[in-house]
Amino acid sequence: MNRLPLIQSRITVLGAIFLTLFAAVFARLFEKSIIFHAQAQELANAQHFTKQELPPKRGSIFLRSKDGPVPAGLTAPKYEVLVVPKNVKDAKEVARTLAEKLDIKDQEKDIFSKINNQKLYVPPIKRRVDEAPAQAIDKLGLAGVLVIPEHVRFYPEQTLAAQALGFVDYDSEGKYGIEAYYNEELKGAAGSIVAEKDNKGRFINVFRSRQARDGSDVYLTIDSNVQYMAEAALKEGIEKYGAESGQLVVVEAKTGAMLALAVAPSFDPNKFNEVKPEDQKLFLDPVISNVYEPGSIMKPMVIAGGLDAGKFTPDTSGDFSNKVTVQGFEIHTAQDKAFGHENVTKILENSDNVAMVFLAGLMGNDVMHQNFKNFGFGGKTGIDLSGETTGKLLDLKQWRDIHRATMAFGQGISVTPLQILRAYDVIANGGK
């Protein structure tokens, strides 16, 4: 029997098995080599290259005065200390050094816990660091430690016009007031730098950079001297009458320019983080955010609208008692006094609620509602401050006679202090 074909067949099978095993081993070695090379390259890049953001300088805010612009919101150079744990050689030594240089020795264990790993990013060890300790750390050249310049907002006039200004939070975002309204214009745009670094983490070659674009400055119409006087007068008034709070606004009638916006109680925007959560309503500007029923101070706007629409004249008159009934509701004069015969001038002089109901009836719902709209009630004034509310003006479809009657003397409608101020400004300017 010829066994040669059988032997040849077995050799062929063994050869195929050997080739298959060799190919599998080779493929595995090739795969590991490629992956190892990629991982090694990634590690090398992480150790020798870095991308760092270049923060822009926030624009300044200025008040005006007869002597020129007065700085109200400025930016000071500070630093933040960052650590890239993956690049740190001795986490224990780095934690000890940073805790000492930053004067936070009680946080040494926390720093060590934060950086003793292979992460590429952890939150900053400390922000708003002064120049001296920041430079001291930078000169040490600690691997994995970055000292990055940042810009910190401060307010040299402290509480002056605080609600109008607002503040900048720890993420460099404007909150409330001018800081929030003009945040995009003020903050500018960050730049960046991609650079090679040596084994101590120091830059040795810059490959790509984009310069930061600093923010624009903002100049307010608020006059620093008028603001000081307004705040002093407001404080005196609150103490005299035992009030809990108050606002005092000064506007240039011809132009509508805001000269002072005083609010009490106030806060120091340099220390916004010290304001307790339950007291953070202090951040809001009540001149534009608080709403209330104005009462009798609404009467001049109602009369102005009726005169303008030709629904009555200054000589229009009538005889009025101390009360009037509208849709089953009794409306009385403030002192429950009957003023008798009055023309429009006397009605306003006596602040007669009953007579105002009569004038509102001559105007009708459509004219009166449109008059309120013309004066800006029920909408925003457009002032460039964050947080403005609209007040409340019922839609015309919801009006009944009782609504028209009570709104004639400022009840059933809600407004902001600024809306009332703007309305009186219109009257002072002859309707303009």
Q: Residues 214-270: pLDDT tens digits? A: 999 999 999 999 999 999 999 999 999 999 999 999 999 888 899 999 999 999 999
Q: Residue 38 falls within a domain, yes or no?
A: no
pLDDT in tens, 15-35: 555 555 555 555 555 554 544
Number of independent structural domains in the chain? 2
pTM given for the model: 0.74
Residue at which a domain ends, from 200, 219, 238:
219
The DSSP letter of residue 415 is B
326 and 198 together in one domain: no
Give the pLDDT score at 322: 96
205 and 320 together in one domain: no
Give the pLDDT score at 6: 47
Residue 37, class by beta-carbon neighbours within 10 Å (0-12 exposed, 13-18 middle, 19+ buried)? Answer: exposed
Q: Residue 232 falls within a domain, yes or no?
A: no
Residue at which a domain ends, from 198, 219, 240:
219
Quote the CA–CA distance of 123 and 289 in Å, as a whole number.
36
Return the CATH number at 362: 3.40.710.10
Return the CATH number at 57: 3.90.1310.10
Single-letter residue type at 402? I
What range defines the domain where residue 100 resides? 53-219
Q: Residue 234 falls within a domain, yes or no?
A: no
Tokens of 111: 């720093």
Average pLDDT per block of 10 residues along the chain, 432 residues long? 51 54 54 47 51 83 96 93 88 91 91 83 85 91 87 94 95 94 94 67 60 93 97 96 95 91 96 93 94 96 96 96 96 94 97 97 97 95 92 96 97 96 91 75
Largest CA distance in the chain: 145
Angle 373-365-411 from CA coordinates, rounded to 5°: 70
Give the pLDDT score at 204: 55
Give the pLDDT score at 119: 78
Q: Which residues contact 33 (CB under 8 A, 6 or more apart)?
A: none
Quote the CA–CA distance of 412 and 298 in Å, as a whole number.
11
Q: Which residues contact 221 (CB under 8 A, 6 or more apart)?
A: 64, 252, 257, 258, 259
188 and 303 together in one domain: no
Q: Residue 239 falls within a domain, yes or no?
A: no
333 and 214 together in one domain: no
Give residue for tokens 């409608």: 413
77 and 209 together in one domain: yes
Q: Residue 98 falls within a domain, yes or no?
A: yes
| Helices 353-374, 299-308: inter-axial angle, 10-degree rounding | 70
Of 420, 378, 419, 374, the residue nearest 398 (C-alpha): 378
Residue at which a domain ends, from 219, 246, 273:
219
Quote the CA–CA distance of 113 and 93 in Å, as a whole number.
12
Is the Cα dihedral 377, 382, 384, 387 positive or negative?
positive
pLDDT in tens, 70-84: 999 999 888 999 888
163 and 66 together in one domain: yes
Q: Residue 123 falls within a domain, yes or no?
A: yes
Q: Residue 168 falls within a domain, yes or no?
A: yes
Residue 25, class by beta-carbon neighbours within 10 Å (0-12 exposed, 13-18 middle, 19+ buried)? Answer: exposed
pLDDT in tens, 134-149: 999 999 988 889 888 8
Is the Cα dihedral 406, 410, 411, 416 positive or negative?
positive
Give the pLDDT score at 149: 83
Give start and end residues of each alpha helix (H) in 116-248. Answer: 131-140, 162-165, 177-181, 183-187, 224-241
Percent of the chain with pLDDT over 70: 84
62 and 187 together in one domain: yes
Give the pLDDT score at 391: 94
308 and 207 together in one domain: no
Quote the CA–CA distance of 55 and 103 in Å, as a whole number.
25
Quote the CA–CA distance of 334 and 324 in Å, as a whole number.
12
Distances (CA, A) of 270 to 159, 186, 250, 309: 9, 17, 25, 51
Give the pLDDT score at 42: 46
Four-CA torsion 380, 383, 386, 389, nearest 10 degrees: -20
Q: Residue 77 falls within a domain, yes or no?
A: yes
Pair 79, 150: CB distance under 8 Å: yes
